[in-house]
Structure formats: C-alpha cells, structure tokens
C-alpha cells in the first residue's frame, strides 16, 4: 500500500525500538513525508525546545509514492527543529535510502531522547536495533558507509549518516546518504549528532504493494513520465547540463549574488558553469563531468558525477579524491564560487567533495566563507585569526577552510557557526546574507523579486525549495512573470509554497514541477492512496501544511520581524545588468503576502484561515 501504516519509534535514551501503527486520520489530512511527519513533530515537541537538547526529536520520513515507479519516487525527508535556525526544519534527500526504508516496511522513524554513547540504528525489514558506533565516531560519511556495508556483509544495505561536521557541532551539518545525496539544510545533521546517532543502515526486501488501484497507478505514472520526457527542462536541460544549466542564465539576468551580495554578476561565472564542466581540460584532456546520475526512480537524472583534475593544487597529493564523485550542482557551485568570488571550478569541486565527505551544507558553508571574506577585507578579521590570507577570490583559502570546518580545526570552528552567528560575534550582524539565520541560496532578491519574498517567508529560513518562483520569473513555468517587479508576487509565492508542500509530502522530487503541475501528480496519488485525493483536497492539504509549520515557528518565538531581508538587499541597489538600480521590494510585498495568506499584520494566521484549513 501507499503507506506501510507503520512507524518505528526509537528511544535513544533507553535504547528501545518499537513499532506503532500510523495515524491514518492524519495521513488523510497531511498526506505523508513533510506534511505528516511535521504533524507528528509538532504534536509531540514543545516549540520552545533547544534544538540540541534531548527533548528535540528527529523524524526520518517517506511519502506515499516513495518506493513506487512514480518518477522520482525515492525521496525521504528529515523533520526536526533546526539547529541553525531554531525553526521547523524539513530537509529532503534523494538517492536510494528513502525507498529502502519504505521497502523495509516503515513510513517513518521517530528518534527521541539522546544516547549516552555513539550508536547507529540497523534495520532489516521488521527488525530494528541500536548498535554500538564507537568504531564509527570520528569517521567520515564515506568511511562510515563502507564500514557498515562490510560489517553487515551486505553491499545492498543503504546508509545515511553524519560525518565529522555533525559530530563537531557544525551548525549546518547534513545527513548524507548514498555517498553524495543529502538532507542538506538547517542543521538536521547537527541535531542527529547531538543525539549521538551516527548512522542509519537499512535493508528492505518487502517492497511496496497493494496500491489502491495498481493498474490506474501504472498508467498515471507512465503518462506523467512522458510529460517529464517531453519537457525542455526536465527532458533535455537537466539531464544534459544538470542544475548548473542555471549559472550563465542567472548571471546574465544580473541575479547571481557575488562576493557576499556586494555584486549581482560574477565575471567568472562561465568558468564555473555547466558549459565549463563539459569542456576538455588542458591539463589532462578530460572533461570535469563524467556522467549524469539519477536518484531512485528518477527519469530526469539531473545529478552530476565529476572527476577532479589530479594536478589541481587541492588534490595533488591526495589520490583518494581522484575518483568520480558527486557534484557540482548549481547551488553548491554558486555558494562555493560566486558567493566568494572564486572562479576555479576544480577548487569548488574539492570543497564540495569535503562537504559531502564530512556532511555539511555547501550553501551555508560557502555563504559563511563569503561573509568571512568580507569581514577580512574590512579588516575586522585578520590573517592571524583566520590562519591565512582570505580575500574574495582565494581558491586556496576556500579549500583550506573547507578542510578546517570538516575537522573542527582553528577558524573552521567559527565558520561552523554559520554566517549569522559569525557576523554577530564580530559586530556586523547585517553582513550575514540570510533569513532566520539560514544563508540564501543562489538567486539575488533584488533581481528576482519574488524570491526575496519566498526567502523572507520560508518556514525553514532562506531557501529556494519552499517556493521556487524562479520557475515563473526566469523560466516562464507555468506562466512568465516579470522578475523585476513586486506586483503579483504575493499570490505567486503563496501558490508555489502550497503546491510545493504537496510535492514534498508525496515522496517525489520538487524538480518534477518544472514540467508537472498538481494536475500531473494528482492522478498518481489518487490511484496509489486510499481515500479520495482530488485537486481541491490537495490544494487544501498544501496550504494546511504551510500554516501548520508557520504556527510552530510563531510558537517558537518567531515574529513578522523575522520575515525580513538583510539591509544590504533593501538599501544597496544592484550595480550592473538588467536589474541595475533595483533593491528588494520586500517591505511592499510582505503585507500583501500576509493578506493573501489570511494572516494578520504580525504574520499570525487568522481564526477564519485556521478554521477553513481544519487547524
């Protein structure tokens, strides 16, 4: 069935693992994955909880389409109170881990309490037990995965784990699965580390069966796959160039934040773009890109597998990094590159490998380095404090700082705080480029106005994946809107946020929405899931999830003041390109957005809104 109807509850304090029936009434209201796990989370956890205390919980969750042949149906999410943000966190990952968890017979795992010593959870179908992880503590993600597969004598085991970053309290640590896919943002790996939980290893051989109407599901899934294949973005752009296809496009729009958002166009954008990744290198005659790569069930295959230049200074004596590995994806290439003014593709890939290997978010890390480089150029941080010269554009500093952050050494410890805490510490809080302590991704709010509103109102802090209006403002999906104006963006952002909440709760990838609308997802869900899943019901589910998350954040202490952008984006106009002269119109858009949402001037959902949504 679409849901396995079983939850695994793991009490890390006592070591008990027990099975519980899934609340099917909630499943009808919140669908699965992001929505359903968040419902569980807020029902069980005090919003004021310290994210790194034993009282915080961490949920790993699949969706009803996870483990089915619906295209991209292999996603899983991690829901917790984010270490970086203190807001509701929901980080989504592909690879194969999510489907394997479903095949083992579990809709979700709820981790509670804190283990006295390092442990990992081993699941084989119905059987689940916590095992000693003393031998894994201090190991990287890649080592952990290898050691577990060897000791289980089962190469088909799937593993998610934290690296040294999660152990060392890097505030934006990830949980990495299948070597280079990650539940990346908001510090979900930091929470996992705080619980002394190193990894989850799962082997599932039960599969997914008894969908509501398997025949109808197969025909809906096949039709939806054709929509992806026939679409220019999902059928050609993403498989050929990956998400990196955006680097030159966004730069030409003048919306590629550069040097900590001082600039909005990067002179070396081409050198770190998808186009550069397929060119032959002079050093070895090979291209950076080796092949594209799919996650479980994905018929798009946007993932990149690359091989670093063996002669590059970062790896010249390190053959362990010479093999093919994951990256670069657009967000990481931007954060490690343009955000720091570094135009050295190989250096970006090296820093990206370190992020994957030791489990930390390249977006937050790269943007934090950008903030540190600005502090350095202002003379607030010195060469002595950082341990090296760190001007904008220094590939060498980027690579060394990545290593130091992974290992928790020297100034790496401070970079591990994230840009908000770092800039606060050095008396320049306004230089942190983010919202709710989470760093911006790769789109400038001044050149793509809707994204500014999406960042400011994202429930997990600045994020492109909660309402990707770039699709509309840049690519014209589903309709073209003008990126330079604020008019209509409140409704646009709301529509993207609500629809995305449904996709994130279904078990599929948000990248399908370049081609799919809810009308393509709905027949698949309706055929797979018990109950009546109409378009109208799904629209309400999406809005309900959004408001539920908002209520949690409000109860956690967030207010309308936190739905704001850094002063730089509101006062320093774009210097070059099509958006020249513009600042963000966030102050105009925000009240419109609250109104569109049925919230009061303080961003609190009104009684009528809550009643309409059944909250």
Binding mask 275-294 for another protein (x = CB under 8 A): ---------------xxxxx
- By DSSP bridging, strand 303-307 and strand 324-326 are antiparallel
Residue 557 in the binding site for another protein (CB under 8 A):
no
What is the nearest approach in angstroms of another protein to the Cβ of residue 307? Answer: 7
* CB-nearer residue toward another protein: 15 or 323: 323
Q: What is the DSSP string of 486-549?
A: -TTHHHHHHHHHHHHHHHHHHTS-GGGGGT--HHHHHHHHHHHSSS---HHHHHHHHHHHHHHH
* CB-nearer residue toward another protein: 94 or 193: 94
What is the nearest approach in angstroms of another protein to the Cβ of residue 526? Answer: 18
Q: Residue 231 is encoded by which pair of tokens?
A: 């679409």
Residues 448/469, Cβ–Cβ less than 8 Å: yes
Residue 604 in the binding site for another protein (CB under 8 A):
no
Q: What is the DSSP letter of 201?
A: E
**Near another protein by CB under 8 A: residue from 301, 535, 540, 615:** 301
Residue 23 in the binding site for another protein (CB under 8 A):
no
Residue 489 in the binding site for another protein (CB under 8 A):
no
Quote the CA–CA distance of 445 and 570 in Å, as a whole number. Answer: 9
* CB-nearer residue toward another protein: 45 or 122: 122
Residue 30 in the binding site for another protein (CB under 8 A):
no
* CB-nearer residue toward another protein: 205 or 602: 205
Residue 435 Cα distances to 47, 125, 227, 422, 562, angstroms: 19, 40, 35, 14, 7
What is the nearest approach in angstroms of another protein to the Cβ of residue 235? Answer: 10
Quote the CA–CA distance of 244 and 256 in Å, as a whole number. Answer: 13
What is the nearest approach in angstroms of another protein to the Cβ of residue 519? Answer: 21
Residue 547 in the binding site for another protein (CB under 8 A):
no
**Near another protein by CB under 8 A: residue from 153, 209, 479, 614:** 209
What is the nearest approach in angstroms of another protein to the Cβ of residue 348? Answer: 18
**Near another protein by CB under 8 A: residue from 229, 388, 518, 535:** 229
Give which of 459, 468, 481 is closest to 548, Cα–Cα. 459
Residues 462/455, Cβ–Cβ less than 8 Å: yes
**Near another protein by CB under 8 A: residue from 13, 14, 53, 205:** 205
Torsion angle of C-alpha atoms 236, 238, 244, 245, degrees rounded to 10 = 30
Quote the CA–CA distance of 584 and 445 in Å, as a whole number. Answer: 6
Quote the CA–CA distance of 98 and 507 in Å, as a whole number. Answer: 9
Binding range to another protein, per CB under 8 A, among 301-309, 441-449, 454-462, 464-472: 301-309
Residue 223 in the binding site for another protein (CB under 8 A):
no
**Total residues at the site for another protein (CB under 8 A)?**
37
Strand ordering across the sheet containing 175-177: 127-132, 119-124, 197-203, 158-161, 175-177, 181-183
* CB-nearer residue toward another protein: 150 or 270: 150
Give which of 415, 493, 411, 412 is closest to 458, Cα–Cα. 493
Contacts of another protein in 174-203 (CB under 8 A)? 179
Residue 6 in the binding site for another protein (CB under 8 A):
no
Residues 139/147, Cβ–Cβ less than 8 Å: yes
Binding mask 142-161 for another protein (x = CB under 8 A): --------------x-----
**Near another protein by CB under 8 A: residue from 81, 164, 307, 436:** 307
Contacts of another protein in 316-345 (CB under 8 A)? 323-325
What is the nearest approach in angstroms of another protein to the Cβ of residue 141? Answer: 13
What is the nearest approach in angstroms of another protein to the Cβ of residue 27? Answer: 19
Quote the CA–CA distance of 46 and 188 in Å, as a whole number. Answer: 17
Residue 225 in the binding site for another protein (CB under 8 A):
yes
* CB-nearer residue toward another protein: 152 or 428: 152
Residue 437 in the binding site for another protein (CB under 8 A):
no
What is the nearest approach in angstroms of another protein to the Cβ of residue 325? Answer: 8
Residues 111, 116, 121, 126: is their CA dihedral positive or negative? Answer: negative
What is the nearest approach in angstroms of another protein to the Cβ of residue 164? Answer: 21
Residue 236 in the binding site for another protein (CB under 8 A):
no
Quote the CA–CA distance of 539 and 116 in Å, as a whole number. Answer: 44
What is the nearest approach in angstroms of another protein to the Cβ of residue 525? Answer: 16
Q: Residue 181 is encoded by which pair of tokens?
A: 């896919």
Quote the CA–CA distance of 522 and 224 in Å, as a whole number. Answer: 10
Burial of 173 (0-12, 13-18, 19+ CB in 10 A): buried
Binding mask 82-111 for another protein (x = CB under 8 A): --------------x--x---x--------
Residue 567 in the binding site for another protein (CB under 8 A):
no
Q: Tell me which residue has tokens 């760190």.
A: 390
Residue 207 in the binding site for another protein (CB under 8 A):
yes
Residue 76 in the binding site for another protein (CB under 8 A):
no
**Near another protein by CB under 8 A: residue from 11, 69, 124, 388:** 69
Bridge-partner residues for 16, per DSSP? 11
**Near another protein by CB under 8 A: residue from 121, 159, 295, 375:** 295
**Near another protein by CB under 8 A: residue from 151, 196, 206, 219:** 206
**Near another protein by CB under 8 A: residue from 49, 147, 305, 539:** 305
Say which residues have a Cβ less than 8 Å from residue 298's Cβ, sequence separation at least 6.
71, 72, 74, 94, 509
Q: Residue 605 is encoded by which pair of tokens?
A: 């959902």
Residue 297 in the binding site for another protein (CB under 8 A):
yes
Residue 298 in the binding site for another protein (CB under 8 A):
yes
Residue 511 in the binding site for another protein (CB under 8 A):
no
Backbone angles phi, psi at 123, to 5 degrees: -120, 130
Quote the CA–CA distance of 537 and 96 in Å, as a whole number. Answer: 30
What is the nearest approach in angstroms of another protein to the Cβ of residue 343? Answer: 25
Residue 248 in the binding site for another protein (CB under 8 A):
no
Quote the CA–CA distance of 382 and 20 in Å, as a whole number. Answer: 55
Helix (H, G, I), strand (E, B) or coil at 482: coil
Count other Cβ atoms within 10 Å, centred on residue 321.
18
Helix (H, G, I), strand (E, B) or coil at 132: strand
Contacting positions for another protein (CB under 8 A) = 67-69, 71, 96, 99, 103, 156, 179, 204-209, 214, 218, 225, 229, 239, 290-299, 301, 305-307, 323-325
């Amino acid at each position: 069935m679409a849901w396995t109807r079983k939850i695994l509850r793991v009490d890390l304090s006592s070591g008990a693992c027990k099975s519980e029936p899934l609340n099917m009434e909630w499943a009808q209201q919140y669908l699965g994955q992001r929505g359903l796990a968040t419902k569980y989370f807020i029902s069980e956890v005090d919003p004021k909880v310290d994210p790194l205390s034993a009282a915080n919980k961490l949920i790993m969750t699949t969706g009803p389409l996870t483990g089915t042949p619906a295209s991209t149906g292999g996603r899983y999410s991690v829901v917790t109170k984010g270490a970086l943000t203190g807001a509701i966190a929901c980080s989504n990952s592909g690879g194969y881990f999510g489907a394997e968890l479903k095949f083992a017979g579990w809709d979700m795992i709820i981790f509670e309490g804190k283990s006295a010593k390092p442990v990992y959870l081993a699941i084989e179908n119905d059987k689940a037990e916590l095992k000693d992880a003393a031998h894994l503590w201090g190991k990287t993600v890649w080592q952990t995965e290898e050691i577990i597969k060897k000791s289980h004598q089962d190469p088909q085991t799937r593993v998610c784990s934290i690296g040294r970053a999660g152990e060392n309290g890097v505030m934006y640590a990830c949980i990495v699965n299948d070597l280079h896919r990650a539940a990346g943002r908001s510090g979900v790996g930091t929470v996992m580390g705080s619980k002394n939980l190193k990894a989850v290893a799962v082997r599932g051989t039960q599969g997914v069966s008894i969908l509501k109407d398997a025949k109808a599901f197969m025909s809906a899934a096949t039709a939806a796959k054709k929509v992806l294949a026939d679409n220019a973005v999902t059928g050609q752009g993403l498989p050929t160039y990956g998400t990196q296809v955006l680097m030159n496009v966004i730069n030409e729009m003048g919306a590629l934040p550069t040097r900590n958002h001082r600039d909005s166009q990067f002179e070396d954008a081409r050198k770190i773009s998808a186009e550069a990744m397929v060119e032959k290198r002079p050093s070895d005659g090979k291209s950076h890109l080796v092949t594209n790569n799919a996650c479980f069930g994905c018929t798009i295959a946007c993932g990149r597998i690359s091989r670093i230049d063996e002669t590059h200074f970062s790896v010249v004596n390190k053959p362990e990094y010479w093999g093919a590995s994951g990256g670069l994806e657009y967000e990481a290439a931007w954060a490690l590159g343009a955000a720091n003014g570094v135009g050295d593709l190989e250096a970006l890939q090296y820093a990206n490998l370190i992020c994957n290997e030791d489990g930390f978010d390249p977006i937050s890390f790269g943007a934090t380095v950008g903030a540190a480089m600005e502090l350095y150029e202002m003379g607030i941080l010195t060469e002595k404090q950082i341990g090296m010269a760190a001007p904008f554009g220094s590939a060498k500093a980027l690579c060394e700082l990545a290593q130091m952050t992974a290992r928790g050494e020297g100034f790496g410890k401070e970079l591990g705080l994230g840009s908000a805490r770092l800039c606060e510490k050095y008396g320049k809080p306004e230089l942190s480029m983010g919202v709710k302590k989470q760093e911006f991704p790769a789109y400038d709010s001044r050149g793509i106005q809707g994204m500014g509103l999406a960042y400011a109102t994202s429930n997990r802090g600045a994020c492109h994946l909660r309402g990707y209006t770039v699709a509309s403002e840049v690519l014209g999906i589903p309709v073209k809107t003008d990126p330079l104006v604020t008019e209509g963006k409140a409704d646009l952002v709301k529509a993207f946020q609500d629809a995305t909440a449904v996709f994130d709760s279904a078990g599929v990838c948000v990248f399908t929405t370049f081609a799919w609308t809810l009308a393509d997802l709905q027949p698949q869900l309706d055929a797979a899931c018990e109950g009546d899943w109409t378009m109208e019901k799904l629209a309400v589910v999406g809005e309900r999830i959004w408001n539920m998350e908002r209520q949690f954040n409000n109860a956690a202490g967030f207010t309308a003041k936190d739905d704001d952008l850094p002063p730089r984006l509101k006062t320093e106009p774009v210097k070059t390109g099509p958006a020249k002269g513009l600042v963000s119109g966030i102050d105009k858009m925000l009240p419109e957005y609250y109104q569109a949402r049925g919230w009061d001037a303080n961003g609190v959902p009104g009684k009528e809104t809550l009643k309409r949504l059944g909250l």
